[in-house]
Amino acid sequence: MTSHAGEKWYRTETALGARHCVGRGDELIVVDGSPFGAWKPTGERLALSSARLLPPVIPPTFYAIGSNYRQHIEKMAATAGRAPVYYERPRVGYRANNALVGDGDAIVKPADAGEEFQYEAELVAVVGETLRNVTPARARDAIFGWTIGNDVSERHWQKIDQTNIRAKNCDTFKPMGPCIARLADLSGMRTKVTMNGVLLHDFDTLDMLFDAGEVISEISRYNTLSPGDVVWLGTDDKPRNMKPGDRLEIEITGIGVLRNHVVAASA
């Protein structure tokens, strides 16, 4: 992987349809094929600044971890008036692909969503190989790269519904992007959340209870992970409410900035 360090993979609409692209300076080199397998340039190049970015991958399976940062667990528990719970093993969940949108896209707040409509800024590991029953070390080696996710959540629905299909998986509730970055070294990585130009959070991205290798290893005890699967790794701190008109930026060192804005549902 070292030779690929710094490489960034995007996805965008091209004359041929949705295509993966590798970034080179301000340009996107459009390719046929997949970054997880064989690919070759189509010859088409696009300006990164004017491309409409899609989620950088549509995962075969979309995993997401809850309760993976100490301060998030403690602050959410305090708000709910209960004792914090630290899980002994990664708390593995999953999400639905219909909810994915890309960098620059709108997050649509449903008409009946409540006030506690919140972002969650997350580091995302993108799996590069087929994995089953692997150690954390082996899992770490099999990570293709990293992207940024916003695990948008409606807290009232999260409390009252029997499943999280509505609380976390409505259309547009899962912005992901802007790219998949291949990184040789994650040290010093920080996650910064800015809303309407104001910095709200700035936390140590890697200060997790379970790192990506441990999480993927746990998933692989029961499930086969496939190239392109994504594993969202949880958020720290206590997210704030978002309302239509708000502009959100999530920046993670070495990857870039995921920008989305909130709009009210038209219906």
| Cβ atoms 193, 67 nearer than 8 A | no
Q: Based on CB atoms, which residue is closest to a second copy, 1 or 77?
A: 77
| Shortest Cβ 86–a second copy spacing (Å) | 13
Q: Based on CB atoms, which residue is closest to a second copy, 1 or 96?
A: 96
Nearest alpha-carbon partner for 102 in 48, 176, 182 = 176
Q: Based on CB atoms, which residue is closest to a second copy, 44 or 129?
A: 129
CA–CA separation, 118 and 238 (whole Å): 10
CA–CA separation, 100 and 106 (whole Å): 11
| Shortest Cβ 50–a second copy spacing (Å) | 26
Nearest alpha-carbon partner for 250 in 96, 116, 71, 123 = 123
- Token digits of residue 8: 């960034």
Q: Which residues bind a second copy (CB under 8 A)?
A: 60-63, 66, 87, 91-94, 96-99, 110, 132-133, 162-163, 165-166, 169-171, 219, 222-226, 229, 267
CA 117 to centroid of chain Cα atoms:
18
| Shortest Cβ 211–a second copy spacing (Å) | 19
| Shortest Cβ 267–a second copy spacing (Å) | 6
| Cβ atoms 223, 61 nearer than 8 A | yes
Q: Based on CB atoms, which residue is closest to a second copy, 225 or 250?
A: 225
Q: Based on CB atoms, which residue is closest to a second copy, 66 or 178?
A: 66
| Shortest Cβ 197–a second copy spacing (Å) | 30
